[in-house]
Amino acid sequence: MIKAGVVGGAGYTGGELVRILINHPSVEIKFVHSKSNAGNLVSDVHTDLLGDTDLRFSPSLTSDIDVLFLCLGHGDSKLFLENNDINKAIKIIDLSQDFRLKVNAGTRWAYGLPELNREAIKTSSFIANPGCFATCIQLGLLPLAAKGLLTNEIHINATTGSTGAGQGLAATSHFSWRNNNLSVYKAFEHQHLNEIGESLKQLNRKFEQVLNFIPQRGDFARGILAAMYLESDLTTEEAQRIYRDYYAKHPFTHVSKKNIDLKQVVNTNKAIVHVEKHGTKLFIVSIIDNLLKGASGQAVQNMNLIFGLEETEGLRLKAVAF
Amino acid sequence: MIKAGVVGGAGYTGGELVRILINHPSVEIKFVHSKSNAGNLVSDVHTDLLGDTDLRFSPSLTSDIDVLFLCLGHGDSKLFLENNDINKAIKIIDLSQDFRLKVNAGTRWAYGLPELNREAIKTSSFIANPGCFATCIQLGLLPLAAKGLLTNEIHINATTGSTGAGQGLAATSHFSWRNNNLSVYKAFEHQHLNEIGESLKQLNRKFEQVLNFIPQRGDFARGILAAMYLESDLTTEEAQRIYRDYYAKHPFTHVSKKNIDLKQVVNTNKAIVHVEKHGTKLFIVSIIDNLLKGASGQAVQNMNLIFGLEETEGLRLKAVAF
Amino acid sequence: MIKAGVVGGAGYTGGELVRILINHPSVEIKFVHSKSNAGNLVSDVHTDLLGDTDLRFSPSLTSDIDVLFLCLGHGDSKLFLENNDINKAIKIIDLSQDFRLKVNAGTRWAYGLPELNREAIKTSSFIANPGCFATCIQLGLLPLAAKGLLTNEIHINATTGSTGAGQGLAATSHFSWRNNNLSVYKAFEHQHLNEIGESLKQLNRKFEQVLNFIPQRGDFARGILAAMYLESDLTTEEAQRIYRDYYAKHPFTHVSKKNIDLKQVVNTNKAIVHVEKHGTKLFIVSIIDNLLKGASGQAVQNMNLIFGLEETEGLRLKAVAF
Amino acid sequence: MIKAGVVGGAGYTGGELVRILINHPSVEIKFVHSKSNAGNLVSDVHTDLLGDTDLRFSPSLTSDIDVLFLCLGHGDSKLFLENNDINKAIKIIDLSQDFRLKVNAGTRWAYGLPELNREAIKTSSFIANPGCFATCIQLGLLPLAAKGLLTNEIHINATTGSTGAGQGLAATSHFSWRNNNLSVYKAFEHQHLNEIGESLKQLNRKFEQVLNFIPQRGDFARGILAAMYLESDLTTEEAQRIYRDYYAKHPFTHVSKKNIDLKQVVNTNKAIVHVEKHGTKLFIVSIIDNLLKGASGQAVQNMNLIFGLEETEGLRLKAVAF
């Protein structure tokens, strides 16, 4: 059994991680750390876990673990690692953005997108888990990048569920405001653009194209749908083949010939990508669950890879479907 | 023109009141007071009013008004009136619960439910506007009370939209929590039970029945649906007649022979009541928009009555319907 | 009083039209025609109208009217006019797409977008009311077209509420499917592209740019939000000035300096447009209520213009806001 | 491996069953039968299954199975069994209401509510899976029935998600209608009252109380919340103890001391019950996912019991939580 610790377990990604790990056949949770909730039952915070676990939030960390998940706010992971001396034998999977960019990652941290970096992940002890928008958008573009086909400006509009903004209370997460609403935020300036750019360049050395990215706040709780296009010489069939080939050995990312909708992936670790040609434009739709493939599910997928488990172990989740 | 002032104009009921008053043909808004937003455009807070008004929130009150609406939190209206010397010629309509109960109202305040108290309202200078649940439930029971037919225990389950809880941020108003959710709160103990009891006793002197009231939080923003029943000797037809007769001269409350649903009244000042007999039980469904007939719309209805306008003036609002 | 008739009054746009007209101070509804519902109370179909009108659906048309609204399916308006001999003195406002394009409109029909065509509308007897997506997108682009500034490819992503698809039952309008879902449809191929292109060309003779349009199905009932951008030399300030100038005399379309969200216009006849520059891209967000400014509200606005009423008469609607 | 066949696999409960069975470690699906979809990929109908299964709907049944699930409309299961000669060695689990009542079940069918009938289920070859409302309500009342404490009239208000009504298109399942709406249907007359009554009588021989049941249609897709109360002499603590004792050995039904909300159980096979005393009333809230504990999950739970598997096998599902 892999012994796991979770830091920052009271938030959305921490809770989602616990939901996965308590049913993971090869994992034993040693502690779920939370400063604010130390001593409380995990199921008093993540109330859907009533009856599933008697764990309590721990005020401190123990070192009898094989893997440590950091589910902290952006900036806090770096601080945590500066202030805590983690045993070198322990693998660390960080869900914040602190180590995603090469300038912060150095040679130590691997970018944890298995569809891009699977072999590097397997041998790494430090994983920077990708952002949710970044995961969704990259999965829509990687097959083209790998063929050097991202030779034109890229246009992206992506809508995220409310859990993407975390559980903090804010005007834009108030039910009365968000219900039945839609809005744009951080147009052209979302922080995930940087990690997307680095990944595309990793596959497509000469990639210098503009990524135009319009993020939107949707009135649903889970999921991201990204609609993207660029000028391309490919036909629909050629593009489908390139995508199918690229993802053939990746168990969570699937290519659909049919039009897709967000709920096909909600509450799963899957991504589904659809490509079709319109005139001179190649159009790509990509969907994920922001808390799973976009966060905690991908973190467990990375753990599976590091420890030599089957990549899908503990991650064959029933879609909510409705 | 009636000159109106609004205190506490930055909240939900204050905003809703402004939305009504700016289109009311006989009203001129003299000020919308807000401490926290003094100097800001009203349309910067109630952003749907962009293009409809250039009003700014006022830091202070002026006395050149005929009517003052208090849209303050519970307890704050009382404080406000203790600390501010309001010209005696000004009519006051308070939307808080501070003066609804006889023990607080004394002989000065009239309970502002036109379907119960229309004549008293017309001649009063101080109106305590009813609570939203209280309005919805009373409109479902008043015709029976008026006939002395509330002779048995009453069973009430009512579900409210999120705006009923105000714009404060709270765990139960977070979109990620409330979306697609349902929950019970304050079962048997909601504070509106008292004002409902007083009204029923006013019509039905000997009323001593138990009111069992289960309030629920719905995953919609506006509206209350109350489902109620009690033992009764009436037939469906007799009950319908009693309800139709009672509401015949009340322009906002209608009796439907057909099954009803919440959205029939959302974004209107109307109430719709449906009655039918099942076995020995008389079953009543009552629906209102909590911010309109349950708050600001009713406040304007009371204003219309006080100033001798047509009761519906400025209140023929288009339902949102969808 | 203007005497109005409505054909196809049992559908969404027909119902919305009736909701507006029954409160319009200068209009008297002479009939609401519906084949399928002839004889039924209008309020039995549009159940929110209970208590507001005793009208029944009429099986036939009468000619004692000044204006006839056609709320029929696409293709049916043309058929209707071929099969019915309408008195030449009667103005006709058609909400279908049958007469929007010049090839179908000939010299007889005016395209009913007041922000583009107000003077032509005033003197026309035949109005082709614009499509909902077309209205939203054009209002975001007209000021640039008028200045000849649409000199580059345009990128549009727009999400519509479920009422845009009408009341017919379909898999994509089933609540279990659409709730919390998001999907793309008719990418690059939506039928409204044609009417948008014609309007832009009307203002911008040399307009030959590609309009890339990705329509999305949102999980809300009302409203359209369009996010658009193109290469431009304008600064934010220059663009804002151009937009403000263009819409200065149009009472329903407003330019917001602040970020906007869909619910600012839901249940109103307003449009709000926001422009800002990012790098070399001019970014435009445009919002409307698809059933009002995108259909029945705009139809009444056109009627007001034709009959010399104030453009906003009967259309100062309270936003639902929540 | 248990070999399973599914009849009626294209509907909601059929799809949900397939979602569970494809990940069940001890089950192999031999066929998913559907007349209307014969030959199509299962993942073309239940599109969230893309990448999870290559199964196609089968036009016919085979007899190489151990268990047959009937996911047919009410009335169709009876017809199916009359018209098809099923090998006697095959266990049958029927999700319709055709064999739930003793008058239809005879001595052959066991009522498949494990919390009531676990031992009988283990030895039965014919299981009538309970209704969704019936499951939710019974789980709230069984502990009292077992102690003979249902000695007074019972008051029940329960709200269901849209999937409870199946995938057929209907006015009340149209997104434009149901979104943000709430309504009552079949007040006092829901067909599940009969099966609830039989179960309570099974535990509480003298049970003759009236069950007042108000079903409501909620604007969410999954889940049922039932709020119930009755006169009782129990204290909160006594009631909690009785409930905890009753469910101590039932792995899916839990007693919460805290207030509960619907999403704690959505997308799980769990039920959570909360009890508290108010005055003389014992108040009980019970929540389930209507498609899982209320249908397909409970069907698999019954299968597990019949075949001697651990009751929770394949049913430790991750809650959607948001």
Contacts of residue B79, defined as CB under 8 A and 6 or more positions apart, other chains included, come to: none
State residue A64's pLDDT score: 95
State residue D164's pLDDT score: 95
For residue C46, the chain D residue with the least C-alpha distance is D177
D132 catalytic per annotation: yes
C263 touches chain D (CB under 8 A): no
D175 touches chain A (CB under 8 A): no
State residue A281's pLDDT score: 98
Residues of chain A with C-beta less than 8 angstroms from the C-beta of D20: 318
Domains of chain C: 2-130+293-306 (3.40.50.720), 132-292 (3.30.360.10)
D266 touches chain B (CB under 8 A): yes
Give the E-state strand segments of chain B in sequence order. Answer: 2-7, 27-33, 57-58, 67-70, 91-94, 110-111, 126-128, 154-160, 183-184, 211-217, 224-231, 253-255, 271-278, 281-288
Determine if the pTM surpasses 0.90: yes
Query: Each residue of D208-235: pLDDT tens digit?
Result: 999 999 999 999 999 999 999 999 999 9
Q: What is the residue-averaged pLDDT of chain D?
A: 97
CA distance A139 to A284: 10
Substitution target from A152, A175, A183 for chain C, most C beta carbons within 10 A: A183
CA distance B247 to D195: 40
Q: How many CB pairs below 8 Å do chains A and D form together?
A: 99
Catalytic residue selected from D27, D116, D132, D266? D132
CA distance B220 to B98: 27
The tokens of C159 are what? 């999400």
State residue D77's pLDDT score: 98
Provide Rg for chain B, Cα atoms. 19
Q: Quick one: how many helices (H) and strands (E) in chain C?
A: 10, 14
Percentages helix, strand, coil for chain D (3-state, rounded to 5) are 35, 25, 45
Query: Each residue of C86-139: pLDDT tens digit?
Result: 999 999 999 999 999 999 999 999 999 999 999 999 999 999 999 999 999 999
Confidence of residue B188 (pLDDT cuts 50, 70, 90): very high
Interface partners of chain B (CB pairs < 8 Å, 3 or more) are: A, C, D
Query: Each residue of B50-87: pLDDT tens digit?
Result: 999 999 999 999 999 999 999 999 999 999 999 999 99
State residue A150's pLDDT score: 97
Confidence of residue C287 (pLDDT cuts 50, 70, 90): very high
Query: Each residue of A167-204: pLDDT tens digit?
Result: 999 999 999 999 999 999 999 999 999 999 999 999 99
Query: Each residue of B155-166: pLDDT tens digit?
Result: 999 999 999 999
**8 Å CB contact of A180 and C285:** no
**8 Å CB contact of D187 and B283:** yes
For B:1-30, CB contacts with A below 8 A are: 12
Catalytic residue selected from A132, A211, A230, A291? A132
Query: Each residue of D151-199: pLDDT tens digit?
Result: 999 999 999 999 999 999 999 999 999 999 999 999 999 999 999 999 9
Confidence of residue D12 (pLDDT cuts 50, 70, 90): very high
High-pLDDT (> 90) share of chain C, %:
100
State residue A11's pLDDT score: 96
State residue B44's pLDDT score: 97
Give exposure, A59-85, as e/b (b: 16+ Cβ within 10 Å): eebeeebbbbbbbbeeebbbebbeeee
Q: What is the residue-averaged pLDDT of chain A?
A: 97
For C:190-229, CB contacts with D below 8 A are: 219-221
**8 Å CB contact of C173 and D171:** no
Inter-residue contact C248 to B34 (CB < 8 Å): no
Confidence of residue D125 (pLDDT cuts 50, 70, 90): very high
ipTM: 0.97
**8 Å CB contact of D285 and B221:** no
**8 Å CB contact of D183 and B220:** no
CA distance B226 to A119: 60
State residue D95's pLDDT score: 98
State residue D178's pLDDT score: 98
Q: Average pLDDT, stretch C174-190?
A: 97
Alpha helix ranges (H) inside chain A: 12-21, 42-45, 76-83, 102-105, 114-122, 132-146, 175-178, 192-203, 236-247, 297-306
State residue D158's pLDDT score: 98
CA distance C229 to C209: 13
Residue C230: HSE in the Cβ half-sphere, 13 Å Cα cutoff = 20
Q: Average pLDDT, stretch D99-123?
A: 97
In the predicted model, residues of chain A with pLDDT beneath 70 are none
A258 touches chain C (CB under 8 A): no
Confidence of residue B130 (pLDDT cuts 50, 70, 90): very high
Confidence of residue D56 (pLDDT cuts 50, 70, 90): very high
**φ, ψ (nearest 5 deg) of residue D175:** -55, -45
Query: Each residue of A139-149: pLDDT tens digit?
Result: 999 999 999 99
State residue D321's pLDDT score: 97
Contacts of residue A82, defined as CB under 8 A and 6 or more positions apart, other chains included, come to: none
Length of chain A: 322
